[in-house]
Chain A
Amino acid sequence: MVESKQKRSAPAVNAPSAEELAALRPTLITGGKRPGDVTRDICEPMDRKPTALWWAAFSVSLAALIAGTIAVTYQIAFGIGTWGLNRTVGWAFDITNFVFWVGIGHAGTLISAVLFLFRQKWRTSVNRSAEAMTLFAVMCAGLFPVIHMGRPWLAFWMGPYPNTRGSLWVNFKSPLLWDVFAISTYLLISAVFWYIGLIPDLATIRDRSKPGIRQRIASIFSLGWNGSARTWHRYETVYMLLAGLATPLVFSVHTIVSMDFATAVIPGWHTTIFPPYFVAGAIFSGLAMVLTLMIIARKVMQLENYITIVHIESMCKLMLSMGSLVGLAYGTEFFMAAYSGNPYEQFVFLNRALGPFSWAYWTMVSCNVLIPQVLWFRPLRRNVAVVFVICIIINIGMWFERFVIIVTSLHRDFLPSSWAHYTPTTIEIITFIGSFGLFFTCFLLFCRVAPVIAMAEIKGVLKNPPRSKAPQESAKGDAV
């Protein structure tokens, strides 16, 4: 054995040695899986009939989706007046949800792209579903800017297209327009990224499933993938390019979203800290959401061997750091206000902490800054149940962060005569719930029809398997 190895390694000058390879492979996938097992384990859930749990989850989210649809229809039929907004508070639930969902959408690309660039192999177990989540989250996000318009049927005016108005284009100075471009670009690139990653796995499905509708679909979308090394070579290049593009994109998108506020004159909005603050927040909430979903997924689909405690822990670490960043931002805001000597600025922040919406503010602080601190403790962050709860809490907290930023800044701005209060209407709340319906409906369907884990990538990071004693036999054994 030993000498044979030397014999081989000697001539193979430009091939990496087994040691090198081994060095590249920390134990990520437990249970001594082999590529064949990977294929089986991950494709199985799709072959099986959906579990009762899946059905339960699906019907709940579908119900929510339907309710939301009804709410939105009603709102579009009657007018934005069916929301609790007023002359002073022109945005509340709508844009809060928008920013919330965009934020969630960030972890996906972050995990698949940024971690890819940083050669974080553990990403392979989570990136597929993270990307899917991104897509669905951005869909939900995109919904709100459209329905929050007074005349949504004219949304297409946001696009710069030649027209008979002589010719009137769009206002490239408006952050809202930047949003339009940012969000749509983000959605498209993420979708492409996700699909590219999916092609080899679709090929696998195509080859292992017996003739039928699924095979046909798989073979259409796998574009005739045949695993040729030349293709793999180019594929890898493009995948890296996309990762390289997506990374700045992730940051740009939330930076631009934050500019919706940062470029405004309203105290509490008009601040330069917003871009980093929002990006950190977005990643924070995104990770929390990914983790939430992953924890559910590994339970429901018995993927404990692929999504191990290692994954959960490393994500917890990321979350902790992001959470602390966000906390720092909260502090900085107050410092800047105090230091600026601008009474309006100062008032806004005092009003946040002590005014009519203080309850929201303190919910936000405790959910995002205080509670996540428990992740400092190893046993806790390796305890799935605890992590799950914390993730939920963080999601709540991050929603409130956006709510606080938007509503408390607006409801008491410069002229006291215009100060007003805000309370959501039924329609608004149902619409919000509906967006969750949309999200989970999509995600659950995704779990059924596509491999939730990137098989081709997992196989690439499998621990070096124990060398089989008699290759011929195993060969015979295999060649049946």
Chain B
Amino acid sequence: MTQLPDNLRSGDPGLHGPSLEIVALDESSEVSRRRFLEAAGFSFSLAALGGCGRAPVETSLPSPLQPAGAIPGRLQYYASTCTGCPSACGMLVGTRDGRPLKMEGLPGHPLSGGGLCAVGQALPIGLYDSQRLANPLQAGKSSDWATVDQQVVESLRQIKEAAKAVRLVTPTITSPTLQAAIDRFLEPFADAKHVVLDSVSHSAILDAHQQTHAARVLPHYRFEQADVIVSFGADFLGTWISPVEFTAAWSSRRAPSEASPEMSYHVQFESRMSLTGSNADRRVSIAPEEQGPLLGSLAEKIGELSGQPLSEPLARRASSDYGPVLTDLAKRLWDARGKSLVVCDSQDVGVQRVVNLLNHQLGNYDSTLDLKRPSRQRQANDRGVEELIAEMKGNQIGALLVAEVDLLHDLPESDSLTEAIAKIPLTVSFATHEDEFAAVAKFVCPDHHVLESWADAEPLSGLVSLAQPTLRPLGKTRAVLESLDAWSGRPGAAYEAVRAHWEEVIFPRRRADAPDTFLAFWEQTLHQGFVEVESEENLIEPFKIDAVDTLAQPKEAEGFSLVLYQKIPMPGGRHSQNPWLHELPDPVTKVTWGNYVCVSPEDAEKRGIADGDVVNVSISGVESSLELPVLVQIGQHKDVLAIALAYGCKGTDRFAKIGPQWFEARPTVAENEFVGKNAAGFVEFRDGTQQYLRSGIKLTKTGRKFELAATQTYHSLEVPKEIAPRGGERREIVEHTTLDAFAKDVHSGAAEHHFDGETQLWPEDHPRPKHSWGMVIDLNKCTGCSACVIACQSENNVPVVGYDEVRRQREMHWMRIDRYYTGEGEDMDIDHQPMMCQHCGNAPCETVCPVLATVHSDEGLNEQVYNRCVGTRYCANNCPYKVRRFNWFKYPHDDSLQNLVLNPDVTVRSRGVMEKCSMCVQRIEAGKIEAKSHGQPVADGAIQTACQQSCPASAIVFGDMNDQGSKISAALDNPRRFRVLEELNVRPSVSYLRVVKNREEKNNAEKHHNRESHSG
């Protein structure tokens, strides 16, 4: 850290970045905050001492050299790129006093369009991780770069002479600079390969396109242009390829209005319950082996409609009970040809070829699937991986370098691989934590954290973006790029490398309208974070029908079939050290901390299994077996099990004591175990692709129990049958209608309340002279992806409480997303309802607080004053929405590095006080002050809440309800608008927009009947 960081030398906007001195300032104040909170507890005894109590002496350390333009205590945003996964969304890094604090979506980004997923939001806590490797390791012992470089270079030289194989394993690399560096690095070796291994591979799609279009590319899917979307198991709103982009695109077609009552039609065929499935208009639960046949029959039907029937059937007939569904779907698809989209998550190349055929028949290529400008977000090549494994086992490898992926964790048969690896002369890991491969690697050359290093990305051919560092590296780490360059004999800073590459390669590809000096081009890109350039030519041949052939008959196997999937909060082992993500409830199951076996209700009943029963999942033949608790998942197809990957990662035992420690508390991680279990053992290589679907699985009860930490324990809007009052069987918390009904009557689906808001008991003597803040959430756009939950956690210093507290229903998230399954079968309504403080005008919580700790502001906010709260919890009891959160314990704030993630604008709550959503009042205040000091009124949209900013679906509108021209005023006039529990007359400031499903009216009719009897 002796030399100034690159960006300080370079004289570009990055200049306003870091200076550890300033960080130190805030650290000291953090420390004192903690000290204060402890002291607060004893303020009473302090009072006894009278005036003699002095606050602890605080020192302020101004940076000796003032960073130009940096204003102390003000949040500054830097456009950057999120590299949390290869989707490479645009990201704004909010830094304050040199500390990156808050990750936000980059508005106007062509892909992510202003949204950012939970993983991106959770980057900061990973940055301030005291257990990140701080310097290179050699044979497990800490070393320094000079020695490591010297030795690595030396052994590379030997390998070169011996002409041994060099293998570099990475996940999909979207960074052109890094890609170039890799090529440069591998170029001198006789036998060198770059193996791309994604923790969940999409290899089959690329392979299929190689066969049908002679180009191994991943199409760029354009959901915003699709009127009919058919997904076979692809969880494109959750984890599939580029969820943020797809969520934005998908939801842009989910807002029917009075003017144009139209929206896309989305059908999901899947065997487990995915987030995407839960949002589909029609969700068909299928057996996994039915996928091929269904696609086949669909292709045939389309073929018939198109007048070019297929020569021979592509697969065995799909079971007849899907007949009507398919006919209907085929018709809809054909009617929407050119504006439809069929996607599939299958790793069977044959199946993917059929998918391509379908999209070809429907003429979707070049409209909803872009091959001219393909996506680069997934490039895994499983054949390469398969070969690599073979080579490793055959000891043919001289050097194995692994970056950003844990080879041993993500591949099956890790034991045999471990032995093989031990024999490799040179093994280098670039892991930031000591993962399983790093543990056995000769050298560990820790990579920077995303927020510490220069990088770039080209997620889409022709869309390049920059990632800039926002503070000086906290440890003696080094970017992979720098390490590789150093070893290939051109040592240099990543900044130089990126800039150089851009000057040579990217700048020439600039568009006509781009500035013509590189400096201008660079500065502009740096400022806006991304730039569109000409995409490279890639030759795509017309669709080759003969590449498509009959699907292999899947062999019938006894027992269950197992679906391996990614949990939305945990897209890969890389993030396994992130407590925020571990405690983020899965959007579908609402379970935190670890993975589990999803079992269908039928099977659970048949085998007498209930939630929390620990079962043993094993596969006949292979020795791999797992013991995991069961979660009974509504909507999962029978005879199907589902287990999430990317769990059981090395080092997660660090979280054992993350929660409060008292004598009845259960540890978050059991003795010598990890968070969850690693299911990679079930992954199998078949026909050159990694298979995440296995059959012939055995399930046996162990008799043990393990209570899952779920944030929601009752899952329906219908109260239990046996105690349901007549007419009150279903609660109109979330209102529904169907597109047909909506087209007829925009107010259809409105619950009938016995109450008119006009008559009021009290005089209206509480004016809102200035502002009246409010929020509207469009439930039809919201997919429940939970990005907002982490955004809120990051913005508002919400503590992590650990497994035991969540299990006790004491999670602290201010923003939660309620998920309800209501109804049966395909008519089941699955709702995702973001729920936070509703800021009621007649707030029940305020009336009951004895000490005025929660009162109403004249801007319509329900204020919670932590320092006044004595913690009677009366307000929480009296809250109809149960959105208040109580600090049951003093949640740990002892890691002074970790504390750098705390937002200085928000008080860290002490033990025994109530807290809740404040509608980001710190942002409101800041916005007001900003406007005032410019002498202007607060502009609509100038103030954004954290949840609103991050929402990929832009489902949240926040603003001043007094301002007639504002977006929120418009949203309030939306006929779909309703308020939860309106009949209580608590007058929430938060409204919701009714769900509109694109399906027949029938299941709505009987809902209406319900309401009649309820109101009658």
Residues in A lying within 8 Å of B, measured CB to CB: 78-82, 84-88, 90-91, 145, 148-158, 168-171, 173-177, 180, 260, 263-266, 341, 343-344, 346-347, 350-351, 354-355, 410, 412-421, 425-427
Contact = CB atoms under 8 A, between A and B. Distances in A.
B278 to A, nearest CB: 15
Interface stretch (B133-141, B690-698, B708-716, B735-743): B708-716
A354 B721 CA distance: 11
Contacts of B868: 157, 168
A157 B870 contact: yes
B372 interface: no
B809 interface: yes
Contact of B880 (A82, A158, A265, A426): A265
B717 interface: yes
Nearest to A409: B877
A78 B660 contact: yes
Given A86-B810, A158-B870, A175-B848, 8 more contacts: A81-B889, A154-B43, A174-B849, A346-B728, A347-B724, A410-B877, A416-B719, A420-B713
B818 A344 contact: no
B725 A347 contact: yes
B884 interface: yes
B59 interface: no
B150 to A, nearest CB: 53
Contact of A87 (B717, B810, B880): B810
Contact of A149 (B733, B872, B885): B872
B748 to A, nearest CB: 21
Contact of A415 (B664, B713, B818, B889): B818
B874 A417 contact: no
Contacts of A176: 848-850, 872, 874
Interface in B860-892: 868-874, 876-878, 880-882, 884-890
A148 B888 CA distance: 11
Interface string B384-408: 0000000000000000000000000
In order of increasing CB-CB distance, the 10 nearest A-B pairs are A150-B871, A343-B728, A150-B912, A81-B888, A346-B725, A417-B818, A418-B882, A90-B873, A86-B809, A153-B44
Interface string B890-901: 100000000000
Contact of B44 (A91, A145, A156): A156
B819 interface: yes
Contacts of A410: 877
Nearest to A86: B809
B847 interface: yes
A275 to B, nearest CB: 17
B913 A343 contact: no
B984 interface: yes
Of B722, B808, B835, chain A has the most CB atoms within 10 Å of the CB of B808
Contacts of A416: 714-717, 719, 731, 733, 820
Nearest to B728: A343
Given A80-B912, A264-B844, A410-B877, A90 B886 contact: yes
Interface residues of B, number: 72
A90 B885 CA distance: 10
B312 to A, nearest CB: 51
A421 B820 CA distance: 18
Nearest to A265: B844
Contacts of A88: 809, 882
A350 B728 CA distance: 11
Contacts of A346: 725, 728
Contact of B886 (A150, A154, A175, A419): A150
A79 B873 contact: no
B603 to A, nearest CB: 25
7 contacts: A157-B868, A173-B847, A263-B847, A264-B877, A344-B728, A347-B728, A426-B664
A307 B712 CA distance: 57
A176 B662 CA distance: 30
A254 to B, nearest CB: 18
B629 to A, nearest CB: 18
B478 to A, nearest CB: 43
B911 interface: yes
B42 A153 contact: yes
B889 A87 contact: no
A264 B878 CA distance: 6
A346 B726 CA distance: 9
A154 B868 CA distance: 9
A87 B662 CA distance: 19
A341 B752 CA distance: 14
B885 A87 contact: yes
B712 A417 contact: yes
B848 A174 contact: yes
B809 A414 contact: no
A149 B877 contact: no
B933 interface: no
A85 to B, nearest CB: 7
Interface string B784-812: 00000000000000000000010011110
B844 A150 contact: no
